[in-house]
Every structure is written in C-alpha cells, then in structure tokens.
Structure 1
Amino acid sequence: MKLRIGILGTRGIPNHYGGFEHISEYVSEGLVKKGHSVTVYNSHNHPYTANNWNGVDIVHRYDPEYLIGTAGQFAYDFNCLADARKRNFDVVLLMGYTSSSVWGRLYPKDSAIITNMDGLEWKRSKYSKPVQRFLKYAEKLAVKHSQYYIADSRVIKGYLKDKYSIDSRYIPYGADLFSEQEREQFDKSEAQKEDYFLLMARMEPENNIESILEGFNNSTSRKNFKVLGDTGNRFGKYITHKFKNDERIQFKGSIFDNTAVRSLQNNSYLYFHGHSVGGTNPSLLEAMASEALIAAHDNPFNKSVLSSDAFYFNNAAEVRNLVENVQRHDTEKTMVKNNLHKIQYQFNWEKIIDEYEEFIMECYHARQIEKIVPGNR
C-alpha cells in the first residue's frame, strides 16, 4: 500500500545540520524506494534548492531564524504546518517538538500524527531555567496533540511511559559500516594510526567537553587531542581560550566530509563521547561503525547503546586516568568488534527504515479505524 507521508521539523535534507536531518535523509529515501510518496520540508535557507532529492519531494518554506534567531524556528514550523494542512498527507511525521507543538491545534486533522519525541530537551544545561520550563511545556503539548510516538532510546521510551502513561515505539538511529572505499579515499597524513585522541560534538556544556579536555590537559600524555566541532559560539570560544596554551589540543572546527570524519574516528587511539542528554546519538553510532575504541560519559543513554563495550568516565580525573592507562590489547579489540556487531544487527539503516515503515503503516491503519469509530484507539 502506497502512503503519502510528510516529514516536518527539520531544517531539511540532504543533512547539513544534525541528528533529525540525518535520520530524515535516510528514512525518506528508504520509504520512497519502498514505493511511498514522501515530502520533506526544507528551510528556504537550505543549500539544496531543488524540489526533489533522490525521489523525495522537497517543499521549501520561509525560515526567518537567520533574521530573528530562535523565534524564527516557530515561524518556520508554522509555515510548514500551514502548507501540510493543504496536502492531504496520510501520515505526518514530526521530528521533535521544540518549536512545533505550540501549533498542535494546527496539526492536519485527517492525518495520522507521529512525533519523534527527541531527547529530553529540557534537561540541556545550555538552556536557561525559563527556557527549560517552556521545553517541558512543549513536551506536554507534543504528547497531547500527537496520536503516536517514537522514542529513539529505550531510556526515553521508559520516561514517556512513566511520565505520561503513553506507549511509544523504540526506533533508534542507524549507521553505515566503514567501507574499504572510505578507508582508501582519506589522506592518511591527517589520520596517523592511533596517534591521537578524538572528540566530536557541538560545543555545549552538557557534552562534557570541558571535563574531557581538562582531564587530558592534566595528563602526561604525549599524544595530540583533536576536537571536531564549530567553536564559534560562546561556549566554544570559552573552551578554546581555556586550553589555548596546551599545544597538544587541536581545535579542527567542523568537518562536513563524512569520509574524513569516519577515518579520523577509525584511526584514533581513543574516541571520547561526552554527550549526557538525548537519545541514541548519531555520532556515537558512527564511531562504533568506524571501529573506534570508545570512552563515554557514564549515563543511561550511552550505556543502553554501548553496554560493557566502552570505557566510562564521570569527571576530569577519570578522563586523565583513561588517557594515561588505556591500552589496545585483545580485550579492547573485542570491545570494538562487539560494537561493530551492534551496528550490523541492531543499528543498520535497512532495519531502521523497515521499522519506520512498519510503524507508519500501523499508525495509518489505526487512524483509519479511529476516524470510523471515534475513541477506539
């Protein structure tokens, strides 16, 4: 059965920004290959300007974020929803709720509304207390105005059940295995085998970048530490200034060449993943797929993915201990192999796309019954 599916809530595809754009790119293309008609909404500022991408219809809508900042996201989501109401989608898939759930009363009435509930955004320390309160309110509105829910982490699935007594479908992100072609494409001079530590993240406090670099800064290691991520924001400038006198720490900026990033992950001595808030993180999965040995912040989100196949840390002292003492012997090689196995059998894109299609079909049929027999859901 062919469905008309609209995907809203991202800045657009192909991905030039982050997690929801990343998964929307894969899922939309995968659903088209399965015969569905899929439309993805793009910001008018998105660098991709065509109206079709690999069979996915692209609708560009005005996005004033570049003029007025964060408030522009609400206007952009309104513009997307206003258009979606005219298109008679069978299913509307909302990626996140931060700036869309306030428009919940405008969600298309005849469509099955599915929201990917994101990663407990109100916990992020980068937000002020008033913003955190708003995000809790936005989360509540998303639950109220949606009919079906996706959780990209089992931790979030449990939270939604405990907090709101709703069932959600656990569907994580996916990752591609690191191919031989990717290995051969990259200039090895940039990624000398196991000669450096690596961190890749947005420059935000909850990603524990300061603790990681402080631990390394206090260590006796002779290796370099490469940091990937845009340091142009306030926290990024603070971090670069704090560690400017440590010549071992190299701020490389954002790298959008995925082959380059994955080669750097593959060749690192130890890859640090400091994310402490959110669901299944795409950069973590890609590090696993790239056969990196991983040290992760000790929290339920990371442990639900990595289990015992990583080193864990809570503070700078524990980071220093890892930097100075982690070896690359048989036990560590087994950890890398186990994580690669998880990518092959739990987090591969083919499986993720199949799960999205299955859930979308279930929601569509349930919605048809709901419309015939109101309240029977």
Structure 2
Amino acid sequence: MNIGIIGTKGIPNRYGGFEQFAEFLSVYLVEKGHSVTVYCPNHQSYKSKIYKGVNLVFKTEPSFLGPSGQFIYDFHCLRHARKADFDILLQLGYTSNTIWWFLLPKNAVVLSNMDGLEWQRVKYNYFVRRFLRIAEYLAVKSSDICISDSIEIKKYLRNKYKIDTAFIAYGAVPFEQPEASFLKKYEVEPYGYSMLIARMEKENNIEMILDGYVKGGSEKPFIVIGDAEGNSFGRYLINKFKANSQIRFLGQNYNQEDLNNLRFYARAYFHGHSVGGTNPSLIEAMASQAFVIAHNNVFNKAVLNDDAFYFKNVEEVADYSLTVEKKNYLHFVNKNLQKVKEQYSLEKIHQAYLNLFETACKKS
C-alpha cells in the first residue's frame, strides 16, 4: 500500500503524542513492506527527506502567524496529498485540516483519528470552540473511516453522529530493565521524587498538581518535563513556582531511556490530562511501571480502572503528595503493566492499524 500521514508536527518526534505515534507507526509500516509518507513542517530541525525508510514531505508552516499558520500548513499538505496517489490517507486530528475537506484525495481511503474533545480545551475562546465543533462535524462527514483512541470517545461519536468508529488506542513497549544510573544527571534518588510529563496546557491540570504538591509541604523534588519555555502558560508556571525549590522544570526531553527510568523510579507519577482520548503519555507511564495518580475523569478511568489513585482538586493532590508512594502500591503498578502487555502493546496497536488499512483497501 501507498500510505500518507498528515496532521502532525513532523517526525522524528519533537512535539507530542501524535508525532510519536506517527513516527512509530510509519516505521512499522515500512518494515512490513509498505510505502509511507509523513508530512512535516519546513521549520523542523530534521531535514532529511528519508527517516528510517519513511518518506518525508516538507510543507510551509508560517510560524510567525502563531496557531493560524497551521491552517496554511494543512492546506499545502492536502494539495500535495491530492496528487500523490495514496491508497490510504491517515489524518491525525481534525483541528485545522477539515476546512480544506474538499481537497481530500478522491481515490484514497481517508481515515481520521478523532483525537479528544478539542472543543473542551480551556485555552480556546467561545468562537474557537464553536469552530472546533464544526471541524469535528466536517471530519466525521468527510472521512471514510473514523478512529477512536478511547472507548469513551467511541461512545461520544456514536451518540452524537450515529457512527460506529474503529477503536484503536495507543501502544507502548513494556519497560522491565531499570537502571538507576540514569538518574544521576537529574540529581534525584530512586523513589525520592515525584514527576509529570505533559505539554504546558491548562487542561492538563499542571498548575493544580503543583499547587497541591506545594500545599502538601513535601520537600522532595517534583520534576516537570515539558516545554515550559515554549508558551505563555508554561512561562507563567515557571514564574509562579520559582520560589519553590522542590519544583524543577526540566524542559523537553525525548530520550526514551531517561524517561523510562525517571518514570520507573518516581515515588509517584501525576497524570493531569483531562480532555478526552487515551493519552499516549499515560500508556507510556504504565509501560514504565510508574505508580500513577491521575486526574479524575472518564477517559483516564477507562484505561486505569481501579489501579490508580485519582484527584480532582488541590487538596487531594496535597494529601497524596505526603501519604502515598510507589512501594506500597506495587499491585497497581503490576496490573497496569499487564494491561500494556495485553491491550496496549505497540505491536498489537500497529497490527490493528495495518489490518484496518488492508480491510479498507479491499472494500474501496
């Protein structure tokens, strides 16, 4: 098959969950003998036109326009994809590319991963949220197949649009060979710190987590991994907590060995994501044998079930920061690792996408 993937900030991943997913899936598909093209913004640091056998096509994203530049980027990507003779075009998300739905290639099977409930993100004003509801509708109507990465998203789309989506979550590789030496560069001790990994977005409840940790009075370090310097909210958090020496903003980090070991040896791993979908960073935390304390919402509960603690306010975070730690809840950790092996293994998820692509091509 000739497969195109659009809707990301490019590969190799230097941004987030969709990008990591696109990187792993595209390489897997190439290894299975298929031709894969991933669209990338022209300003990304990796400039080669080939990445591990995957074809990269670079298109202009005028970053000086801020988020609006994404609309122009998607326009260029779809114009190219329309002429590329793809059998499959996989869209990751729908935020901006749906306004160009009329440019979708006529001969390709169009599959759209519907992501989470984008219109619920608190960073958006009323008008943007209204637009995102329309974009969601357009994605449903213009796609041959819609994909849900969460059972709850599948239920939502079935109730709202009366469609049956393909359910495929995200995957991770179980991590079972920890090495504490990786912690030295971060100046932390095994089980002597807590942490989170997230993009600096309000709906990830990072401020709530850090407020709670400070309120709890723990003197142990709390590591924040994510590009805090990269947006106004992240810079606000750095400034707010600069007087709290235990809060450490470490910036972006894509070194998987470091991240796996940091998650494994954390006293607690806080997961604050709240807006829909099965979040890749949660699956990776489970695969790294982290002890997870998650924001209390249906999406996180659909993955973790009863094998985690949940918080919904600062007070609950404060209490957890002092009273719970990994060594007392290894049964949670082991059950979540088993879920990864049985339900969220990377091989299983990739094979599910390949099966879906093959079935879609046969029917077209």
TM-score by length of 2: 0.96
Q: Percent identity?
A: 47
Distance 1:273 1:304 in 2: 14
Task: Tell me which of 72, 75, 88 is aligned to 1:75.
Answer: 72
Distance 1:328 1:45 in 2: 41
Kindly state the Cα deviation for residue 328 of structure 1 after the two structures are TM-superposed: 4.0
Counterpart of 1:122 in structure 2: which amino acid?
W
Matched, 1:55 2:53: yes
CA displacement, residues 294-327 of structure 1 (integer Å, 9 cap, x when unaligned): 1000001100111111110000011111112114
Equivalent residues in 2 for 1:171-182, closer than 5 Å: 171-180=168-177
Aligned 8 A contact 1:185 1:259 in 2: no
Partner of 2:179, secondary structure, is: helix
Partner of 1:321, secondary structure, is: helix
Partner of 1:227, secondary structure, is: strand
Equivalent residues in 2 for 1:193-204, closer than 5 Å: 193-204=190-201
Aligned 8 A contact 1:20 1:95 in 2: yes
Distance 1:9 1:365 in 2: 25
Matched, 1:238 2:236: yes
**Aligned residue for 1:350?**
347
Counterpart of 2:15 in structure 1: which amino acid?
Y
Cα distance 1:51–1:327, how it changes in 2: closer, same or farther (>3 A)? closer
Matched, 1:146 2:143: yes
**Aligned residue for 1:314?**
312
Kindly state the Cα deviation for residue 148 of structure 1 after the two structures are TM-superposed: 0.5
Q: How many residue pairs align between the two structures?
A: 362
Partner of 2:24, secondary structure, is: helix
**Aligned residue for 2:111?**
114
Distance 2:28 2:130 in 1: 36
Partner of 1:149, secondary structure, is: strand
TM-score by length of 1: 0.92
Counterpart of 1:303 in structure 2: which amino acid?
K
Kindly state the Cα deviation for residue 154 of structure 1 after the two structures are TM-superposed: 0.7
Kindly state the Cα deviation for residue 218 of structure 1 after the two structures are TM-superposed: 1.1
CA displacement, residues 28-71 of structure 1 (integer Å, 9 cap, x when unaligned): 1111112211111111112221121112111112222x221112
User: Bigger CA drift: 274-283 or 255-264?
Assistant: 255-264
Counterpart of 1:337 in structure 2: which amino acid?
N
Distance 1:220 1:266 in 2: 23
Unaligned runs of 5+ in 1: 368-377
Distance 1:245 1:50 in 2: 43
Kindly state the Cα deviation for residue 241 of structure 1 after the two structures are TM-superposed: 2.3
CA displacement, residues 89-115 of structure 1 (integer Å, 9 cap, x when unaligned): 111111111111101011001111110
Unaligned runs of 5+ in 2: none
Cα distance 1:151–1:323, how it changes in 2: closer, same or farther (>3 A)? same
User: Bigger CA drift: 350-359 or 169-178?
Assistant: 169-178
